[in-house]
Amino acid sequence: MPRALFAPLELAANRRSMLEAFGLSDPGCVRTNNEDSFLLDPQAGLYLLADGMGGAQAGETASQLAVETVADFVRFSGEHNVSVLIEGFQEANRRVLSRAATDVSLNGMGTTLVGVLVCGEELAIASVGDSRVYLYEDGILFPITEDQTWANEVGRRLGLDDDRLKSHPMRHVLTMAIGVESALRIHSYSVRPAAGVQFLLCSDGLHGVVSHDTIIEALNRERSLEGQCHYLVDAARQSGGPDNVTVVILRWS
């Protein structure tokens, strides 16, 4: 069964802004369990998405633990800046490593993780792995985050073109994930959004399956956020749904 959440947040600043959010997760058409997790916390201004790996209980545990750890860290800190988000990711890495070390059934588990934290009129964004955050504005879809994968970080440096990368056996191999090693590389970004822009957080069950043009079509503002999320999940399922698919859409107005 798909999991869905909706959360509006009013932001008090120099002008009155509204951030709306909706999230939806679906196991897809092939897998029986869902190893993805996501969180919408409008009070903390925090939005997270994780794609677990390790199979069955391990993947689910890793993604849930990572999301919960970052959320607890941000709430407890009471601060809103990119440093807090990065420190939360680091704590999540320690927690996932520690849990795997104490339970043999969880050995080898890990997870991707992307997060958006509202910092006044700016958004702090952090990512590990290949789950993505996109910015959508005026019909243009732009990836903010960079994949930490063999294809992106190694294959492209070797000069492999997109056609060869799409069929390369190493294309899905992650070069970094939460819970894999103590040394963690976190990509971070800061964005000052204009009114009307949307942000899409998604696992590779979406961006690895659904075309760029279809994602743009889904983010048409004539649809509600819930409608956009369902459109994207349905598109992934119609394309075979080979993986769990999770989407979170934020709309700044």
Residue in 104, 34, 8, 85 with CA at minimum distance from that of residue 245: 34
Q: How many angstroms separate the Cα of 187 from the Cα of each of 113, 212, 241?
A: 11, 22, 28
45: its two tokens: 């201004």
pLDDT of residue 163: 57
Q: In what order do the strands lie in the sheet with 198-202?
A: 3-12, 16-26, 245-252, 198-202, 132-137, 140-143
- Residue carrying structure tokens 């994207």: 232
91-119: pLDDT as tens digits: 999 999 999 999 988 988 999 999 999 99
Task: Sort strands 132-137 and 46-53 into parallel, antiparallel or unpaired.
Answer: unpaired
Mean local confidence (pLDDT), 124-143: 97
158-169: pLDDT as tens digits: 555 565 556 555
pLDDT at 151 over 80: no
Lowest mean pLDDT among 7-21, 98-112, 127-141, 194-208: 7-21
Q: How many whole angstroms from its chain centre is CA 145?
A: 10
pLDDT of residue 54: 86
CB distance 23 to 246 below 8 Å:
yes
pLDDT of residue 10: 42
pLDDT of residue 182: 94
pLDDT of residue 14: 32
pLDDT of residue 169: 55
pLDDT of residue 66: 98
End-to-end CA distance of the chain: 31
Mean local confidence (pLDDT), 220-244: 95
71: its two tokens: 């959320």
pLDDT of residue 93: 98
Domain 3-252 in CATH 1.20.120.80? The answer is: no
Cα 133 to Cα 199: distance, rounded to the nearest angstrom: 7
pLDDT of residue 55: 72
CB distance 177 to 110 below 8 Å:
yes
Cα 67 to Cα 80: distance, rounded to the nearest angstrom: 17
Residue in 107, 183, 100, 196 with CA at minimum distance from that of residue 148: 183
> Position 101: which residue type?
A
Cα 153 to Cα 150: distance, rounded to the nearest angstrom: 5
